Structure 1
Amino acid sequence: MIAVSAAAVMLSACAPTVVPAGGPVQAPRLTDDRYVAADGTSLPLSVWPAANGAPKAVILALHGFGDYRMAWEEPAGTWSGAGITTYAYDQRGFGGSPSRGRWPGTDTLVDDARTVAALVRARHPGVPFYLAGESMGGAVVLVAADRGAESDGLVLSAAAVRSRDTFGPVASAGLWFFAHTIPWMPAGPTSIDYKPTDNPKTIDKLRNDPMMLRQPRLDMAYGLVDLMDDARASAARVKEPYLMMYGLGDRIVPQAPVKAAIEIMPPRPDSKLAFYKEGYHLLMRDKAGPAVTEDVAAWISNHEAQLPSGADASKSLPEMASLWGSKRNGQASARPRSE
């Protein structure tokens, strides 16, 4: 009994750290280079305006785990030339946020995304607005959309939909135990160890950019899995048009969880699945990243036309997730035009 009590005390003393948003003290707002949240937290913001006048569309882009807003610098440059304005901010716990290195919780990440989306939409009334997310950012986008973030479509690049059940009971139990006993320990190998891209320039940035968060705490990884659980559930309730992109060389988000998520996503004639045979996790920063980025611009311009790269015509992963979950068991008759 004493041992059990001691273990309980140890676990409670070492519970995963979560640093959520505080209570509201002001109205949230955007400045030229900041998103200032209702609790007063100031998060760095970058904006890449559309070239040559008013934007044809606007994207709010959310970065992945360990990354920060400049993950979107290269794609945003291409989108600018296509008449698209891109906004990106450092999510709490990452980049230049004041709580860097601490997990903010799914609710806080999602509330920030919903708030920034509303602020950006208000700044560009009447302009088509899209939510884009890479990896963890894709998970935040899915949950934010499910919780009411309004947009004209979702761009999901290697979305983190690796829910807890796909890890297996042993790995899941191990993560829970260590996150509750040694939450301050590094989570293990970094994404670099899993070849996130074939682009040496991108790898160099991951290794040397001081704003990248390397060796995150175990409790941050634990929080990420909670987010991915919610994202997987939200995938079944997508109401907006979406472009789901995945690189078949991705070693960070395996094919099986992505296939399972796709099978429950509502098939829509204005939505696409795009699989890149030579693509890795950081699709838009791979050597072939410009082609992926151009696909996004093309889809925003016309949801139903074939993508310039032809990635939406490839029946893979496997056979386009069993032809999109057999069209959700016959409940939807519309098929992607590439079929």
Structure 2
Amino acid sequence: MSIHGRACTLSMMIRRIAVLSNTHLSRLLYPALFVMLAACSTHEAAPPATPARHPDLARLIPADRTVTIAGVGAVPLRIWPARGAEHAVILALHGFNDSRDAWERPAPALNAAGMTVIAPDLPGFGQTAQRGGWVGTDTLLRTVSTLATSIGREHPGVPLYVVGESMGGALAIVLASQTDTPPVAGYILLAPAVWDLDAGTRMTSHLIAALAPRWRLSGHELPVHVTAADDMLALARLYYDPLTLRDTSTVALSGLTDLMHRAARADAHMHGRVLVIYGGHDQVIPAPAMARAWRRMPQATRHDYIPGGYHLLLRSRDANRVTADMTSWITTPDSFLPSGGDMAAAAWMADQKGRAGPLPILPGWMDWIAPQ
């Protein structure tokens, strides 16, 4: 792959990862990428103005608790306690450029089933001191491992589940593959970021990050649209949430490529119970990349396919089905998933045999959050 091609592949990861099989359009993106890089900012993008008719969409909900982790600093947490007897605790890990608020919609249903949800701002995101940067995969893993250990002490005898969305799912995969992981009853991976980009693309990302570490990229300059979910109210909340990052540093972009590579190398070595969920309308993680990951995962891994689901599964109209499957897998692990996702997953995997991967290109600025 040429340097132009690798730069184009790299650029699509700004904010999220887009996919589009259009080779004629892709040729136009090669020079456009470098125009974009020349004009990019070195400061974080300002949040959008609060909508006058719906100011609640831009509300900043204070953390319920802040914990201090050695070598990391303060980590804010949102906590939704179980209603009634506590049957499980969920450590919920958000995706790239997201925050602890990613779990505010599914949390009430999980609470009603006796599950406490604890959602941190991962270092580099949300309200952490490192916001907008990249602390490194090892630091992110140490943060998650420390939180898991702490939760285990504070909730003795209660099973702990680690749930990760996209980037958070990639972290959960690496955590599950390690031998020194704290006791975890199971892992739920929501559209995990397991797209293993080629060595040349990763090298290009490292080079750009080294030469221009303060550059921040939005992707607004390129006219490609990606739909990450179809629940417009949930997407509006994500857009206006002051904790959401609206652009990406070259350093964070490079770090994400490394994390995805590491997760793709670790997914075959996960220990314990695992449920992985993927949506039929995911335009962020390509279907061939997810199918390859599913084939690599241990045989006991449970696969769940939601035909109408988008990348942000819990911000899609099928979110209730996803939450119900998560709840069922935790509370009645030997039962079929209520969505029918077991059978749908088998049919989808059979259909993926021999399919080639699509060409990745860059989404327009924030256009990934809304259908066009």
Which TM-score band applies after superposition, normalised by the shorter structure? Answer: 0.7 to 0.9
Aligned twin of 2:66: 34
Report SS of the residue matched to 1:197: coil
Report SS of the residue matched to 1:256: helix
Aligned twin of 2:78: 46
Does structure 1 retain, via aligned residues, the 8 Å contact 2:64–2:76? Answer: no
Aligned twin of 2:342: 312
Does structure 2 retain, via aligned residues, the 8 Å contact 1:35–1:89? Answer: no
1:72 to partner: Cα distance: 0.7
1:77 to partner: Cα distance: 1.1
2:207 paired with 1:177: yes
Q: Return the structure number with greater relative CO, CA threshold 8 A, min gap 6.
A: 2
Aligned twin of 1:331: none
1:122 to partner: Cα distance: 1.0
Once residues 32 and 289 of structure 1 are traced to their aligned partners in structure 2, the CA distance between those partners, rounded to angstroms, is 25
Aligned twin of 1:21: none
Letter in 2 for 1:39: G
Aligned twin of 1:242: 274
Aligned twin of 1:151: 184
Report SS of the residue matched to 1:227: helix
Matches within 5 A, 1:1-339: 33-39=65-71, 41-52=73-84, 54-147=85-178, 148-149=180-181, 150-165=183-198, 169=200, 171-189=201-219, 193-268=225-300, 271-314=301-344, 315-319=346-350
Report SS of the residue matched to 2:216: coil
TM-score, scaled relative to structure 1: 0.80
Letter in 2 for 1:311: G
1:32 to partner: Cα distance: 5.4
Does structure 1 retain, via aligned residues, the 8 Å contact 2:280–2:305? Answer: yes
Once residues 242 and 90 of structure 1 are traced to their aligned partners in structure 2, the CA distance between those partners, rounded to angstroms, is 23
CA RMSD between the two structures: 1.9
Once residues 98 and 290 of structure 1 are traced to their aligned partners in structure 2, the CA distance between those partners, rounded to angstroms, is 33
Does structure 2 retain, via aligned residues, the 8 Å contact 1:43–1:92? Answer: yes
Segments of 5+ residues of structure 1 without an aligned counterpart are 1-30, 323-339
Does structure 1 retain, via aligned residues, the 8 Å contact 2:72–2:123? Answer: no
Matched residues, percent identical? 36
Report SS of the residue matched to 1:74: coil
Could you give the per-residue CA deviations for residues 91-149 of structure 1, whole angstroms, max 9, x where no partner exists?
Answer: 00000001101100000000000010011011111111101000000011111222232
Report SS of the residue matched to 2:148: helix
1:38 to partner: Cα distance: 1.9
Once residues 32 and 96 of structure 1 are traced to their aligned partners in structure 2, the CA distance between those partners, rounded to angstroms, is 13
Letter in 1 for 2:126: G
Once residues 273 and 225 of structure 2 are traced to their aligned partners in structure 1, the CA distance between those partners, rounded to angstroms, is 34
Once residues 151 and 116 of structure 1 are traced to their aligned partners in structure 2, the CA distance between those partners, rounded to angstroms, is 12
1:257 to partner: Cα distance: 1.4
Report SS of the residue matched to 1:164: coil
Report SS of the residue matched to 1:245: strand
Letter in 1 for 2:239: R
Does structure 1 retain, via aligned residues, the 8 Å contact 2:134–2:255? Answer: yes
1:193 to partner: Cα distance: 4.3
Distance verdict in 2 for CA 1:306–1:145, change over 3 Å: same
Once residues 110 and 124 of structure 2 are traced to their aligned partners in structure 1, the CA distance between those partners, rounded to angstroms, is 27
Report SS of the residue matched to 2:105: helix
Segments of 5+ residues of structure 2 without an aligned counterpart are 1-62, 354-372
Report SS of the residue matched to 2:342: helix
Distance verdict in 2 for CA 1:58–1:320, change over 3 Å: farther
Distance verdict in 2 for CA 1:40–1:173, change over 3 Å: closer
Letter in 1 for 2:241: D
Q: Which moved more, 1:176-185 or 1:234-243?
A: 176-185
Could you give the per-residue CA deviations for residues 238-285 of structure 1, whole angstroms, max 9, x where no partner exists?
Answer: 1111110001211111111111111111111xx410111111001011
Does structure 1 retain, via aligned residues, the 8 Å contact 2:269–2:297? Answer: yes
Once residues 145 and 260 of structure 2 are traced to their aligned partners in structure 1, the CA distance between those partners, rounded to angstroms, is 18
1:306 to partner: Cα distance: 0.6
Once residues 302 and 66 of structure 1 are traced to their aligned partners in structure 2, the CA distance between those partners, rounded to angstroms, is 33
Does structure 1 retain, via aligned residues, the 8 Å contact 2:281–2:307? Answer: yes
Report SS of the residue matched to 1:252: coil
Could you give the per-residue CA deviations for residues 296-339 of structure 1, whole angstroms, max 9, x where no partner exists?
Answer: 000001222111111111134432866xxxxxxxxxxxxxxxxx
